[in-house]
Structure 1
Amino acid sequence: MEIKNPKKNLVALFLPSLRGGGAERVMVNLARGFREQGLSVDLVLAKAEGPYLADVPEGVRIIDLGARRALYALPKLVRYLRQEKPKAMLSTLTHANIVAIWARIMSRVPVRLVIREANTLSLSAQNAKDLRGKMMPMLVSFFYRYADIVVANSLGVANDLVTRIRLPRERIKVIYNPVITPEIFAKAEEPLHHPWFQLGEPPVILGVGRLTKQKDFPTLIRAFALVRRERQARLMILGEGEARPQLEALVRQLGLEHDVALPGFVENPYKYMKRAALFVLSSNWEGLPNALVEALALGTRVVSTDCPSGPSEILENGRWGPLVPVGDAKALAEAMLAALETDAPLGPVQSLERFESSKVAEQYLRCLGLINWEDEECKKR
């Protein structure tokens, strides 16, 4: 691998903030990977806030544009590009990607621009609550063509961009998320003093994610209620979001107050994953669910909905864990019960190297033009 002179090659990573989420964690991991290759890295944030600020690697410069939303950061992003003239810029999250495209056009700086689409966009738009969200596919269809490369984090996301958004397939590169890092294994070994995870306690089923419609935790809670009719168990869902009141009401309605916990966002979910009897992904849709990969890497048995997209690719069509229909609490409960009754350890999952941070960072650096290679998809157009 040949990296060009890092002093002349500043790479900028643009996103709205570092609030807790999969896309934010991906960008922090990529920043670390780029620094490990000796490159200069700017993490350019519309607003420098969020719990992942504490995880930004040493040597990565944080640029706070001081804007409440990505759109409002546009003038300062244009100014940043003109002043710093990075060799390449990577952005993520759909609305931030469009702002990054506008900024490059307006700045007239020849920065190579790679944008990362992290969700099944057609479904996100279909379930959007506001007009901006519903119009996003139209904006994407028009403006994404001005990026040098569009990175999709799964084949499902790529196919959605082609079939629903009508982007040319040759402009899209599939690169999985840089999920597996040495840090998650170190954090998984940290002590966990929660009483549910002590010896002799019932098995804990774990869900992780923002409390939103996308994650469909109501189906997980209803499935858990069916599991509790058959055996002792507990359910813990790590995350925060606007659906908390509805989820708490459902827990009370089903009489599960003593067996379901919603502790909110936690800085280290890995020590919970490592000790959980089962990890469950109940999502309606995804791009590529990081938590599912992390649970597998930590040796935890998993069950997932076969939602678009990502789980079937991660689990290789059920090889590493059962896939059940979206929104089917009965099928999810049956898969959870079967997994809890299996005594054999999961064992090392093959093919997880696709998600190793160092390897993924190298693929991004190729697309960003900072590594010489022969792949025509990622050469400068």
Structure 2
Amino acid sequence: MLRIGLLIDSLIGGGAERVVLNFAGGLAKLGHDVHIILVKNEQQHQTSDVPFTIHHLSENGVLAESRWRNKQLLSEKLQATVTRIESDGKKFNFFTSNAEDMDRLSKMAKLDPVFIRYRNSMVKYIETKVGNKTGLKKIIRQFRWIQKFRSIYSNRHIVTVSNALQGELVNQVGVKPKSLTTIYNPFDFDLLRSKAAEPIDPALKPQEPYIIYAAKFENRKRQDLLLKAYAKANISQKLVLIGGTYTASDERWYKQMMELIKELGIEDKVILPGFQNNPYAWVKGADLFVMSSDSEGLPTVLIESLIVGTPVISTNCPTGPSEILIDEFSTFLSPTDDVAGLATNIRKALESYPEITDAYLEKFSINNSLSQYIRHYENQSAGNN
């Protein structure tokens, strides 16, 4: 039995948080001693009934006004939490870091070994930070962010969630990892399908056929692109947008989407049920799942939708969709920021879609993913002896 620590900021609604719970449930079922350690005591997702333990470093992530001092205190709390758990004489075999704050804090706390799940495009993130800067200001800002990422991620164990992220990390950002491999996120097919079979609250359940997108409201998820494509597609199905807001920026984006819905004249066709603890029943009931993001790591929602049998289409954003929708499914990828392309694929997928088989999805199965993580840990341990 291994003792494994899963590090993440919180368990509020999101794909990364669901993946951590998939890890925890799957590893616990295999008989391992699993501990989830949170920066903030915040949780929306339902937790499994299998035995794993959840710890938190703070109530809201703030222990000091100074940003530097706050990180220092949180790293000390992380170190103390690990020491307390290990006081029974059993050490952690390894940790996985599943969020940016924990990537930094685990380094400051000198935890080892930590396998960092590299989840999102660093290049796209830098682009958003550079914004519309030009000339010397652009060069300086790019340089600072690249140096920051190199200082955090170089000489560390990196596990990318898609193959495309490997090249970006090494060739474009210049990170030099201690080890580097790709392991897809784990998905418990039976659990997802059982959740998908649960009833939807009758007060919220759409009475008409619908298509769906489940994502928090933020610019990167591009609900605006989907709304425009949906209006252009002119289909009979309603559009369900599942998701919540967690920051002031998210709230502003949500307000803009409400205004856009009015501008497009589709107020009577868009359903907004907010965050849902069990989105799988909603996805299962949809005629189509549509993802409109500008960037991802390995989009959990696409794989989950396919597992519960719902056809999906997506923007071909970096990274992940092109590794999920391959072969005959690849025709349902459209360029990012392409309203017409997304609208065309909405109509095409509703008319005809390939059969979704477990053989096609096997590379995302929980047993396949977890066995790769354990094997990777064993290989790294053997290399250090």
Shorter-chain TM-score above 0.5: yes
Match of 1:363 in 2: 372
> Per-residue deviation at 1:196?
6.3
- The range that moved more, 351-360 or 137-146, is 137-146
> Per-residue deviation at 1:167?
2.4
Measure the CA separation in 2 of the matches of 1:356 and 1:316: 17
Match of 2:316 among 299, 306, 316: 306
- DSSP-derived class of the 2:296 partner: coil
Gaps of 5+ in 1: 1-5, 370-374
> Per-residue deviation at 1:127?
1.6
Match of 2:276 among 261, 266, 269: 266
Matched AA of 2:147: M
Match of 1:372 in 2: none
> Per-residue deviation at 1:380?
3.7
RMSD: 2.6
In the alignment, is the contact (CA less than 8 A) between 1:145 and 1:167 conserved in 2?
A: yes
Distance 1:222 1:27, change over 3 A: same
Match of 1:295 in 2: 305
For 1:204-243, what aligned pairs fall within 5 Å after superposition? Answer: 204-228=210-234, 231-241=235-245, 242=250, 243=253
Match of 2:153 in 1: 144
Measure the CA separation in 2 of the matches of 1:20 and 1:253: 29
Q: For 1:327-359, what per-residue CA distance to the aligned partner results, in whole angstroms no more than 9, with x for missing partners?
A: 1111110111111222x6634264311111122
1:12 and 2:13 matched: no
Measure the CA separation in 1 of the matches of 2:382 and 2:103: 18
Matched AA of 1:207: Y
Match of 1:315 in 2: 325
In the alignment, is the contact (CA less than 8 A) between 2:26 and 2:188 conserved in 1?
A: no
Measure the CA separation in 2 of the matches of 1:10 and 1:377: 14
> Per-residue deviation at 1:319?
2.5
Measure the CA separation in 2 of the matches of 1:45 and 1:352: 30
Q: For 1:33-75, what per-residue CA distance to the aligned partner results, in whole angstroms no more than 9, with x for missing partners?
A: 21122111111111221112x3144321111211533835211
- DSSP-derived class of the 1:319 partner: helix
Match of 1:59 in 2: 51
In the alignment, is the contact (CA less than 8 A) between 2:121 and 2:295 conserved in 1?
A: yes
1:164 and 2:157 matched: no
Match of 1:351 in 2: 360
Measure the CA separation in 1 of the matches of 2:197 and 2:301: 17
Match of 1:187 among 173, 188, 195: 195
Measure the CA separation in 2 of the matches of 1:154 and 1:244: 29
Match of 2:181 in 1: 173
Identity among equivalent pairs (%): 30
Gaps of 5+ in 2: 62-69, 132-140
Match of 2:138 in 1: none
In the alignment, is the contact (CA less than 8 A) between 2:155 and 2:178 conserved in 1?
A: no
> Per-residue deviation at 1:290?
0.5
Match of 1:155 among 136, 160, 163: 163
In the alignment, is the contact (CA less than 8 A) between 2:154 and 2:175 conserved in 1?
A: yes
Counting matched residue pairs gives 355
Match of 2:123 in 1: 122
In the alignment, is the contact (CA less than 8 A) between 2:192 and 2:307 conserved in 1?
A: no
